[in-house]
Structure 1
């Protein structure tokens, strides 16, 4: 096991520079980066419409996507058919339809793409939103009273959700593509505790644009989304690539039928500078539910092979850690593929963790990590978790419950 784990962390925002905030302990040191909003930011807008910098967008017709198909259930009186069906499920890289096939979720019209593609195509019917601030590359959403619906939009920016954004924000059928020079994660939630925010992200592709060696795009090395003290977040049918992880989220979070892949570290001289967790409820109290999802941050999805050095940048696909005496409760992971982090599951916090019917693919250090003497993670359920291959195909070999 490496001596040192490091992770970026940001709930607030500094304009536009990242500042070190402290050190975590995971039987070793974990460096944390915090972001906070300064006075130099742009002024607010009364409505999202007043904020939009919209350009006409035209593109190719939507490309067909592949839909994962569950294996048909055999009839009770067809023994041969039942055996064939079981064999088909065993050879199925979607675990018999439990989790999505690669490139089958995300924004309509995106299709297959390479990690290194400079930009994604703008599908027909999408509007293009440019940044409000060209220096930081951010697009601002300040007033969220009632419901704000953002549909079929190509954001050439990272999205900043402001301190007074309380209400419901729906981001659907869209592409979030922070360009080179972006100063923060793909969706930075900074809503304060004066009101509640519900953030629904559905059928959307989050994919920061790559940069060359030594260049900057902060969205490449941080979690795509973070939570807030009074947030409820639902991530459904979302494709997340070229990031440091999917979500820095620890309370009132649901992730379903979504896909994490292609962590991008080619621009880093030392990939360990980007140490994060795929889904990381740091200091979270729960509930957190992850279901029917494909979490494989270290795969190059276009080739089906490992991203070289992937394990240096992702502490674990599933990573839990206490902060300030917090305890994670109501944590459930089911029917998902967990693969290609330094660990698959690295649980350092959690009471009554529940994991069932998951497939654990290859990792660098181990599919799970043991819990040290100062660790308080316990399990209420660990059942039918099995080993799988790099493409997601399950085997019959059980993954033991972490000790």
Structure 2
């Protein structure tokens, strides 16, 4: 498989589409026109500040159902092998399909034109009609966005610092969107924390002759001074979950239906799952279901998925960077060309994961110039396409 590359630019304009991940590919820069503003809902960031603060911390689980599920425990203190063997959630370690995401969103197909607007949601249209961009150019303190249906991609801008909480919402970039679903572009003048909880990220499919950059790019990216946390997030119809490699936590979340349906040749795209390109860590993935090549509605693999999806978990150095403090646990990893394709990382830790079907291999070997080492590799097993563990041990990559 060819190596992925992306632009190292962190400032506006941002490189869009899959060309940023191809070795030697020409880079197309999308500069968005901010001239035509059509604000709806929170017209300015100030109107969104502390809107739901009275409800408490929007990043904390509010019910027992929202807490991270714990595996069944026997009297001896070990997880119940019988429960895991019969359960496509690995005994409750990772979520069932269509069980996480925004409240009010039921089962849906990748081809559905759009998701319905659940009761109680406000609809936010893009500020920029041409690019389909909804803007948080500047923000300070805490911004709470709750029960919003974004018919746009969300731009978190250069001077946005503090905390942005997106909860119980739907982010649905429409055809014509010029960038990823959540574009983080904050500068290094201050810290930014982005918490996304119980939210569905699903760009809308396109028809003939239409474009939607959010379909082939990772749903969200990091920044040099950012902390990103995804919890209970459903990501579909994208080029992956997260292009991020530092201060990132992904928990109880689900990636599926990476979008290649509009491509005559799926190999034109290099999509994936979680990609810490050039990242230094820490990155933690726990209790999550990452199966980018599955058709979740039917439970079958998408034909030719592997031609586009390099790996569910892919690590790669950039400019001499070294990934550290990388942890993947209690998760289902399935339906990439590889499950884990580690080209970078010192002391990687992976335990209690289930690796489902892939095209080339559940893991890849490390090349002659590869410096990858593992601090922990334990209780990782093979599983079926629905997530059910088989009990067959998966050896550590060599």
**Given the two structures, how large is their TM-score scaled by the length of structure 2?**
0.88
Encode CA deviations 1:312-339: one digit per residue, 9 max, x unaligned. 1111000000001100000000000000
Matches within 5 A, 1:263-342: 263-342=258-337
Encode CA deviations 1:15-60: one digit per residue, 9 max, x unaligned. 8x84898787xxxx4648575756x4349999x93338x9xxxxxx
The answer to whether structure 1 residue 86 and structure 2 residue 81 are counterparts is: yes
Contact 2:138–2:158 under 8 Å retained in 1:
no
Deviation of 1:262 after TM superposition, in Å, equals 0.4
Q: Against the structure 1 CA distance between its residues 108 and 23, is the aligned structure 2 distance closer, same or farther, given a 3 Å change threshold?
A: closer
C-alpha distance in 2, partners of 1:111/1:222? 24
The answer to whether structure 1 residue 226 and structure 2 residue 225 are counterparts is: no
C-alpha distance in 2, partners of 1:201/1:347? 26
The answer to whether structure 1 residue 41 and structure 2 residue 34 are counterparts is: yes
Q: How many residues align?
A: 378
Contact 1:220–1:242 under 8 Å retained in 2:
yes
* Gap runs ≥5 in structure 2: 48-64
Matches within 5 A, 1:1-400: 2=1, 4-6=2-4, 11-14=10-13, 18=16, 29=23, 31=25, 33=27, 35=29, 40-42=33-35, 49-51=42-44, 72-75=72-75, 86-400=81-395
C-alpha distance in 2, partners of 1:216/1:199? 27
Encode CA deviations 1:206-231: one digit per residue, 9 max, x unaligned. 00001134421100000000000000
C-alpha distance in 2, partners of 1:236/1:34? 32
CA RMSD, aligned part only? 2.9
Where does residue 79 of structure 1 map in the other structure?
A: none
Where does residue 61 of structure 1 map in the other structure?
A: none
* Gap runs ≥5 in structure 1: 55-64, 77-81
C-alpha distance in 1, partners of 2:177/2:388? 37
